[in-house]
Amino acid sequence: MYAKLHPVKQFDFQINRIITYGEKACDFREVKETAAKITDFDSWFKEWKTLGLKAEKEQRFLHAAYYYRLAEFFLTEAHPEKEIMYKKSIENFHKIISKDQNLEIIKVPYKNGYMKTFLFKAKKEKARIIVFGGYDSFIEEFYLAVKDLADAGYTVYMFEGPGQGKTLKQGIKFTYQWEKPVTAIFDYFKIEKAPVVGISWGGYFVLRAAAFEKRITEAIAFDILYDGFDFMTSPFPFPMKQIFKTLFFLKAKDTINRLVWNLMKKKILAQWAIEHGQYITGTKTPFDFYTHIKQHTLKGIEDKITCNVLLLAGEKDHYIPLEHYYILMKKLKNAKSLTGRIFTEEEGGQEHCQTGNHKLAIDYIVNWLDEKYE
């Protein structure tokens, strides 16, 4: 279940992203003790780095990998230890991953580089599934969750697309046209048809891809996301959100930049979110960043989604407004079939991507797929 360990929700949620995997990913006692020492970004980095070093020294490599990921998470790209923490996290993940005989790592050509792809081979294959994360994720952090899909009989192709992990580090920036990397995966592995799972912002990506890539037979949004611009402005207090949207419609670039820069000075989490967003999108100002994010929407293409669709949501998701779920349930009229599931606080699935009880969602996905592929 979700454990409330820090008063700052963003910090608390990131901590729970590793706790959700249990003792395989962390030592709860030391995580709880570390959380109590964190007061700001500096202490966040210092404490998780310290814990990562300790776990690595004790050869608890998966623990170290997740701790270094937390240490890296809120660092800006200009920070001298950003790349160091990323590399240490990946190195420790692969000390475990490299021993997995059912996992193969493949570089799928894409644009002027490649997309790192994990191929999890099911022993008795029911079907092949394509999986990806969202926003700035990297695939190693989903290793434990995706293994469950392979163990359930589904061969999984999990990749890092534009703006994510190693693909981003090659200079391939975030894009709203997610059907392009998905098509590259279908083509490279000669997959005739397959279900596709999108995690977090991937909930938008998977539905966007399904609108254009017709080899997708099932689109699973884990969790839902209908419109990126609405999501990125949802934290703004009313009436600031309405004012911001009006200014954006009027293309008041200078006013919006000043407004956001002032907000960034007052709130360090806002500063990190905007600066990091500009990095993964390759934009230079807040206005340009929001212009890019405005493209991440399903508005106007809902009728093109004609496959089987599964929409998942948490009733208290602090990222994605629950309204997005109801919009999609109403607008996906041409889906071959449409299934929706809102996970509740009572069952421990209320958070974004059911963090704290992610197995609840994984089991639901497997059962839903089993109805079609067993």
Tens digits of per-residue pLDDT, 190-217?
Answer: 999 999 999 999 999 999 999 999 999 9
In a domain, 123, yes or no: yes
In a domain, 29, yes or no: yes
CATH of the domain at 191: 3.40.50.1820
Residues 187 and 309 in one domain: yes
Q: Assess whether pLDDT exceeds 80 at residue 283.
A: yes
Alpha carbon separation from 83 to 3, 90, 126, 179, 218 (Å, rounded)? 29, 11, 39, 29, 36
Residues 175 and 158 in one domain: yes
Gyration radius of the chain over CA positions:
20
- What does pLDDT average to over the chain? 94
Select from 249, 275, 293 the last residue of a domain: 293
Instruction: Please spell the DSSP secondary structure of 91-132, one letter per residue.
Output: HHHHHHHTT-TTEEEEEEEETTEEEEEEEEPPSS-SEEEEEE
> Which residue from 31, 83, 21, 82 is spatially nearest to 55, judged by alpha carbons?
31
306-355 confidence digits (pLDDT tens): 999 999 999 999 889 999 999 999 999 999 999 999 999 999 999 999 99
For residue 354, report the phi and psi dihedrals to the nearest 5 degrees. Answer: 55, 35
d(CA 220, CA 79): 36
In a domain, 4, yes or no: no
Q: Assess whether pLDDT exceeds 90 at residue 233.
A: no
Read off the pLDDT band of 270 (50, 70, 90): confident
Residues 199 and 54 in one domain: no
Q: Range of 63's domain?
A: 9-96
In a domain, 151, yes or no: yes
Residues 266 and 135 in one domain: no
pTM of the prediction?
0.94
Residues 169 and 120 in one domain: yes
Residues 84 and 111 in one domain: no
Residues 189 and 321 in one domain: yes
CATH of the domain at 29: 1.20.1440
Helices 240-249/253-266 angle, 10° precision: 150
In a domain, 343, yes or no: yes
What integer pLDDT is reported at residue 166 of this predicted model? 95
Could you tell me if 303 and 334 are in contact, meaning their C-beta atoms sit under 8 angstroms apart? yes
d(CA 165, CA 139): 7
In a domain, 3, yes or no: no
In a domain, 2, yes or no: no
Domains identified in the chain, total number: 3
Look at the chain and count its residues.
374
Residues 45 and 179 in one domain: no
What integer pLDDT is reported at residue 240 of this predicted model? 80
Select from 272, 293, 314 the last residue of a domain: 293
In a domain, 65, yes or no: yes
Tell me which amino acid residue 125 is: E
d(CA 299, CA 301): 6
What integer pLDDT is reported at residue 156 of this predicted model? 97
Select from 61, 76, 96 the last residue of a domain: 96
What integer pLDDT is reported at residue 263 of this predicted model? 80
d(CA 120, CA 128): 10
Residues with Cβ < 8 Å from 111, sequence gap 6 or more?
A: 172
Residues 268 and 340 in one domain: no
What integer pLDDT is reported at residue 237 of this predicted model? 76
Residues 341 and 318 in one domain: yes
Residues 184 and 62 in one domain: no
Read off the pLDDT band of 7 (50, 70, 90): very high
Q: Assess whether pLDDT exceeds 90 at residue 267.
A: no
Residues 210 and 307 in one domain: yes
Is the bond preceding 239 in cis, omega lying within 30 degrees of 0?
Answer: yes
> Which residue from 273, 253, 275, 271 is spatially nearest to 262, judged by alpha carbons?
271
